[in-house]
Amino acid sequence: MKIGLVGFAGSGKTTVFNAMTGLDVPVGFGGEVRLGTVKVPDARIDRLSELFSPKKTTFAEMRFCDIPGEHGADHKGLSPRALQQIRDQEALCLVLRDFENPLLAEPPDPAGDLDAFSAECIFADLEIIEKRLERARKEGAEAVEIAAFEKAGATLESEHPLRSLSPAELNRDFFRGYGLLTDRPLLVVLNRAEERAAEELPEALSTQIEAAGAGGLALSALVESEIADLDPSDQAAFLADLGISESALARFIRAAYALLDLIAFFTVGPDEVRAWTIRRGTNARTASGRIHSDLERGFIRAEVIPYETFIHHKSESAVKEAGLFQVEGKEYIVSDGDILHVRFNV
Ligand SMILES: Nc1nc2c(ncn2[C@@H]2O[C@H](COP(=O)(O)OP(=O)(O)OP(=O)(O)O)[C@@H](O)[C@H]2O)c(=O)[nH]1
Ligand SMILES: [Mg+2]
């Protein structure tokens, strides 16, 4: 999964990036677009790894892309370069500043920044949709296609993001490859001053985030980036001192999985124990394509053991003896925690 960190200049994107990835990119204004990868912690993988003692243990990954804000302009906005970068991401994480930044004259205004960001994205999408609509009309496109563009245009004009439309309301087949910003899943991070690190999202902002069809969480990036620098054994105590029960990374990953409706399935064996990420509702054949395209192409069947069942019986043969071994076809919908063994022939 690829998540782009976006937001206005000096909101703390690079600090969030450092906190999540454990990297140490210099903060301050501007800089380059940066990529970083995070392992998705999963206690089930730890446990399976203990049982199999494989040569290799591989966690699911989340990729972060830190996109600098625009500086020096007289308006607070997103540069065309930033917009281009954003279009490339699977999901967006908007970082809102809620701390005094000595480099910026204005006091923090997270609610105003969220509105401004939403407005910019809506405007950018509307520009694309209007152009496409005009072309579709000129080329005499089919009525369903024109209707889809009209629906999208009207939604944006009424200042609603496209993500607010259900699949029944908007046929997205016509929008593939356009990189529409307001159709991307959005996670909003309220970046707090250290002394308010443990406070939850304020009610009014929560409502505003919900209205944008987004998910949200509050954290203090500065605190979290300091935690990331500590020895893992010291991290819990440091968090507890601040009244924080769980690191922002864990909360962030959970929020992102919920927002994107992601689940994990596992493959196990003496060579590798590994987690794979898929959308909820994915069938066994498509899921096997995550592992290798040959498995999807030559799919015969999937042998499935739910994680809890495996942990209870501790071996494949014990699961079989208990009559709990599942043999499933390509339409089987994979569940969170399924251990999959794909039989295939190419
Ligand atoms: N007090 C406080 N300062 C923070 C926090 N997060 C970031 N900062 C500071 O704010 C300044 C800007 O942070 P960056 O992470 O570089 O901001 P950015 O969003 O990446 O900025 P651009 O890339 O220029 O758009 C730095 O001096 C950070 O140390 C925070 O939670 N609390
Ligand atoms: Mg930055």
pLDDT of residue 76: 58
pLDDT of residue 246: 82
334 Rama sector, left if φ>0, alpha if ψ -120 to 50, beta otherwise: beta
pLDDT of residue 268: 97
Domain assignment present for 273: no
Tell me, yes or no, whether 216 and 76 share the same domain.
yes
Cβ of 76 below 6 Å from ligand 1? no
Domain assignment present for 268: no
pLDDT of residue 157: 97
> Domain boundary at 135, 151, 181, which?
181
Tell me, yes or no, whether 204 and 145 share the same domain.
no
pLDDT tens, per residue, the chain with 346 residues: 889 999 988 999 999 999 999 888 888 777 788 999 999 989 999 999 999 999 999 999 999 999 888 766 545 567 777 778 888 888 999 999 999 998 888 899 999 999 999 999 999 999 999 999 999 999 998 999 999 999 999 999 999 999 999 989 999 988 888 889 999 999 999 999 998 988 999 999 999 999 999 999 999 999 988 888 888 888 888 888 888 888 888 889 999 999 888 999 999 999 999 999 999 999 999 999 999 999 999 999 999 999 999 999 999 999 999 999 999 999 999 999 999 999 999 8
> Domain boundary at 154, 181, 208, which?
181
Cβ of 85 below 6 Å from ligand 1? no
Q: Which of 27, 93, 106 to mutate to test the pocket of ligand 1 (most atoms within 8 A of CB)?
A: 27
d(CA 67, CA 9): 10
Going by the DSSP 8-state scheme, the letter that residue 65 receives in this structure is: E
DSSP string, 202-225: PHHHHHHHHHTT-EEEEE-HHHHH
Which residues have C-beta within 8 Å of that of residue 314, sequence separation ≥ 6?
51
Which residues have C-beta within 8 Å of that of residue 297, sequence separation ≥ 6?
344, 346
Ligand 1 atom with the shortest distance to the CA of 101: 10
Tell me, yes or no, whether 174 and 192 share the same domain.
no
Note the ligand closest to the C-alpha atom of 11.
1
d(CA 256, CA 247): 14
Which pTM value belongs to this model? Answer: 0.88
Q: Which of 8, 14, 78, 98 to mutate to test the pocket of ligand 1 (most atoms within 8 A of CB)?
A: 14
pLDDT of residue 16: 93
Going by their DSSP bridges, the two strands 61-66 and 2-6 should be labelled as parallel
Q: How far is the CA of 233 from the centre of ligand 1 (A)?
A: 26
CATH number (domain holding residue 136): 1.10.150
